Structure 1
């Protein structure tokens, strides 16, 4: 929250139900599903924020997943 405030960008969260609508578009993880209730978070969240305008491939490194999208 502090980073979003300092950078003057909105901070948005989604319910598991909202992410579930789009999780079938992205590879899932059993660990993530067990932890948060959906198999994928990064991809569906980026999809929702960018209205499907994703940039490149999802990055996966050392347990961190990042999906980029363009929001207008």
Structure 2
């Protein structure tokens, strides 16, 4: 959690602005995902590999990630979909943890 706190502090964004955590469905039982969702008190949205594949071509593909979870990118596509195809604010990979921060796109009426 401290890594997320530090990143949001550096971005000058309150943790209260986080409205959702997104990732791939095979991580639904990962302790770190469950802990951050509980800590932030926000919902989590799990996407299937097929859902992420629909937008993965927008982002660089990692052969390691593709070999591991069948889709070449997870953080950016899931954040993109979870933000209603919003704008990327920040992206990082640090110590095996990947974080993509997106600004939510309001749905047009």
Q: Same fold (TM over 0.5)?
A: yes
Larger radius of gyration: 2
Distance 2:37 2:95 in 1: 24
RMSD over aligned Cα atoms? 1.8
So what's the TM-score if we normalise by structure 2?
Answer: 0.57
Determine if contact 1:46/1:54 at 8 Å carries over to the other structure. Answer: no
1:47 aligns with 2:46: no
| TM-score, normalization by structure 1 | 0.82
For the 8 Å contact 1:19–1:41, the answer to whether it is kept is yes
Partner of 1:43, secondary structure, is helix
Number of the residue aligned with 2:42 = 9
Within 5 A, what are the aligned runs for 1:1-72? 1-71=34-104
1:34-71 CA deviation, whole Å, 9 max, x = no partner?
10000000010000001121333421223322111123
